[in-house]
Amino acid sequence: MTGTLHDDIPILDLQDVGSGDVERETRAAAAIERGLGRYGLVYVKNHGIDPAALDAFYAEFLALTALPEAEKRRWARADLWFQRGYTPPNTEKAVVAGGQPDFKECWFAAPIDVDPVAAELYPEIHPPNVWPEDRPRFRTFYEAIGLALHEAGLALLRACADALALPRETFVDVTRGAPHVTRALKYLPLDAQQCESGVLWGEEHTDFNLLTLLPGGWFLDRDQNRCARPDDRSGLFLRTRGTEGRPGGALVPGTAPPGCIVAQVGQQLEILTGGRLLATPHVITAPKTPGYARTSMAHFVHVHTDTRLFPLPPFQTRETMTAYRPPVLAGTYDIKTLVDIGLAPPEVLSKLGYRHYDRLASVRAGEPR
């Protein structure tokens, strides 16, 4: 790992996207091609996120996480697969984590209205938001930041389409009414033994959505006050695409340059582009000194649950079709992933597909003897 910014990762100016200026739009497409195509991430400026509002939200969120565990669990909705409200510690795990849950607590909320028909078909993926009734500022800041991140994500998806020579609304069109979600996270303090054993705050994983936007976060000292990064090996690190000289890629810090946020590719975008844009593995490492914590936020842009996940026609080759077969509906893909990471119960997999095998037995039971 390295503790410095990766100088080769480009900065994308969202004001260049759709500007009508050929030079500026070409520059944006080049930033996407190099950033998301080679590294799996890009730094984004002119993104519309108010730093003061983000700081105010983190203060509200940390006040909420400081409440007694029993009180916070009032907002924990296992029946909604923790897709809204509070997620307690030791709940979620990365798919390749070997069963070790992440050391974090979270809050989920959707800043965008969903498709009401999809909400009927996938109620746990499109549930109504859960809010603490006595904390209106928490909700106000949450919704405003989530909406701003979403708008930045849509602009970025238009830049992706431009870079890949697709119609500009290609990716935006499949996001309408989708289960977009904004997540607030607090990574918990570790004790000396955990630090010594190399416990990770969040195991390395790739996101299963279309695009993830990360506005940056805070480190907290032992007294839970905002502080500088404790060491150059702690925080968010992202793994770049492998090269001939470095087949495993390189881990680069997710700390964006001043005034920028980080955007990274999710599995859905990788599938649709046949791997042209590769889902970004990332890991959240803890300081080697016990007692520190971290808070952050992420917005996940999804495709609609009715979207067919398979390489789009321009990216279909024998190799890509074999690599990403069989096609699957995004809603099914979402459910399978939520089971894999421990948020949805395994028995929901039995409800995928035809579920009425007992009907004949019921009919036969009613026959006269």
pLDDT in tens, 270-281: 999 999 998 988
Percent of the chain whose pLDDT exceeds 70: 95
CA–CA separation, 41 and 279 (whole Å): 9
Give the CA angle between residues 180, 128, 271 to the nearest 5°.
25
Q: Which fold has domain 11-327?
A: Jelly Rolls (2.60.120)
Report the phi/psi class of residue 153: left, alpha or beta, with left for phi > 0 and alpha for psi in -120 to 50: alpha
pLDDT at 7: 62
199 compared with 167, residue with greater pLDDT: 167
Q: How many Cα neighbours within 13 Å face the side chain of 343? A: 27
φ, ψ dihedrals at 199, nearest 5°: -60, 135
Helix (H) or strand (E) holding 265: strand 261-265
Most confidently modeled of 91-100, 195-204, 316-325? 316-325
pLDDT at 4: 41
Mean pLDDT of the chain: 90
232-261 pLDDT, tens digit per residue, is 888 888 888 777 788 888 888 878 899 999
pLDDT interval class at 2 (50, 70, 90)? very low
Query: If we measure between CA atoms, which residue out of 132, 168, 133 comes closest to residue 17?
Result: 168
CA 365 to chain centre: 49
pLDDT at 282: 86
pLDDT at 97: 52
Query: If we measure between CA atoms, which residue out of 29, 89, 116 comes closest to residue 293?
Result: 89
Give me 218's structure tokens: 């805070």
pLDDT interval class at 5 (50, 70, 90)? very low
CA–CA separation, 151 and 263 (whole Å): 13
Q: Is the pLDDT of residue 17 over 80?
A: yes
Give me 228's structure tokens: 């500088």
110 CB burial (10 A radius; 0-12, 13-18, 19+): buried
Q: Which of 90-94, 304-308, 329-333 has the lowest mean pLDDT?
A: 90-94
Q: Which of 161-170, 226-235, 304-313, 353-362 has the lowest mean pLDDT?
A: 353-362
End-to-end CA distance of the chain: 74
Percent of the chain whose pLDDT exceeds 90: 67
Long-range contacts, 64-71 (Cβ 8 Å, 24+): 64/107, 64/132, 64/135, 64/138, 65/105, 65/186, 65/295, 66/224
Q: Is the pLDDT of residue 3 over 50?
A: no
Question: Domain boundaries in the chain?
Answer: 11-327
Please list the residues that pair with 181 across neighbouring strands.
Answer: 300
pLDDT interval class at 100 (50, 70, 90)? low
Mean pLDDT score, 51-55: 95
Give the orientation angle of helix 136-163 with respect to helix 22-34, to 10 degrees: 100
Q: Is the pLDDT of residue 65 over 70?
A: yes
* Residue 234 CB contacts under 8 Å (≥ 6 apart), including other chains: 219, 285, 286, 287, 288, 292, 294
Q: How many Cα neighbours within 13 Å face the side chain of 92? A: 24
